[in-house]
Amino acid sequence: METQSTEVEKRPAFLTVLCILSFIGLGYVILTNLLFLPLTPFFSHLIPDFKELIQDNFYSGPFENFVYDAINVAEKAMEFAWAISLSKMLLAALALWGVILMWQLKKNGFYLYALAKIVIITLPIIFLGYNFIAAIGVISGGFFALIFIVLYALNLKSMK
C-alpha cells in the first residue's frame, strides 16, 4: 500500500505570535465596547450637566483655545458614544475575522485586517471632526495599527 505524503503548511512562529497578540487585543476591544454599549444612552443625559459645569468653571489662560476644543470634543464624544462604540466593535470584529483568516494562512485576511484597522484609526475624525485632539487619537492609534500592518505584511509570503 502506497502512502501519500501531504505537505502540511506550517504557520511561521512570528505570524503565530502576531495573531495571538491580535486575538487578545481585538477581543479586548470587542468585549469592552460590547459592555460599554448599554451605558451610552446615559451620556446624552450628562451633556447639559457637563455644559453647566464647564460654564461655571471655565478655564481661561494661555491654553484657553485648547481647553475649549477639548470641551467641544468631549461633548461630541458623549453625543456620539453609541455610534463610536458600535463602530469600534464591528470594525474590531472585522479585523478579528481577518486575523482568523491569516491564522489559516489566507492572504485575504491581511487585506481585511488592514482595511478594518485603517477605518478604526480614522473614527475620531469621522465622529469628532478634525481637530488637535482627534489628530492625537489618530496618531496614537495609528502608530500601533501601522506597526501590526507592517509586521503582518512581512508574513504575506507564507500566506496563499
Residue 104, C-alpha cell as written in the block:
489559516
Are the C-beta atoms of 33 and 85 separated by less than 8 Å? yes
Residue 4 lies in a domain: no
DSSP 8-state assignment for residue 101: H
Residue 104, domain extent: 13-158
- Provide the pLDDT for residue 13: 96
**Which residues make Cβ contacts (< 8 Å) with residue 75, sequence separation at least 6?**
47, 50, 51
Residue 150 lies in a domain: yes
Under the banding of pLDDT at 50, 70 and 90, the label for residue 28 is very high
Residue 83 lies in a domain: yes
8 residue type, one letter: V
Total domains in the chain come to 1
Between the alpha carbon of residue 88 and those of residues 50, 122, 135, 159, the distances in Å are 24, 11, 17, 27
Residue 2 lies in a domain: no
- H/E element holding 132? helix 132-153
Residue 81 lies in a domain: yes
Residue 29 lies in a domain: yes
Question: Could you give the CA distance from residue 147 to residue 118 in angstroms, rounded to a whole number?
Answer: 12
Read off the pLDDT of residues 43-55 as tens digits, 9 standing for 90 and up.
767 767 766 666 6
How buried is residue 36: exposed, middle or buried, by Cβ count under 10 Å (0-12/13-18/19+)? middle
Main-chain dihedrals φ then ψ at residue 143, nearest 5 degrees: -60, -55
Residue 129 lies in a domain: yes
- Provide the pLDDT for residue 68: 74
Under the banding of pLDDT at 50, 70 and 90, the label for residue 60 is low
Residue 1 lies in a domain: no
- Provide the pLDDT for residue 70: 76
CA atoms within 13 A on the CB side of 11: 18
Read off the pLDDT of residues 88-114 as tens digits, 9 standing for 90 and up.
999 999 999 999 999 999 999 999 999
- Provide the pLDDT for residue 5: 41
Read off the pLDDT of residues 76-90 as tens digits, 9 standing for 90 and up.
888 898 999 999 999
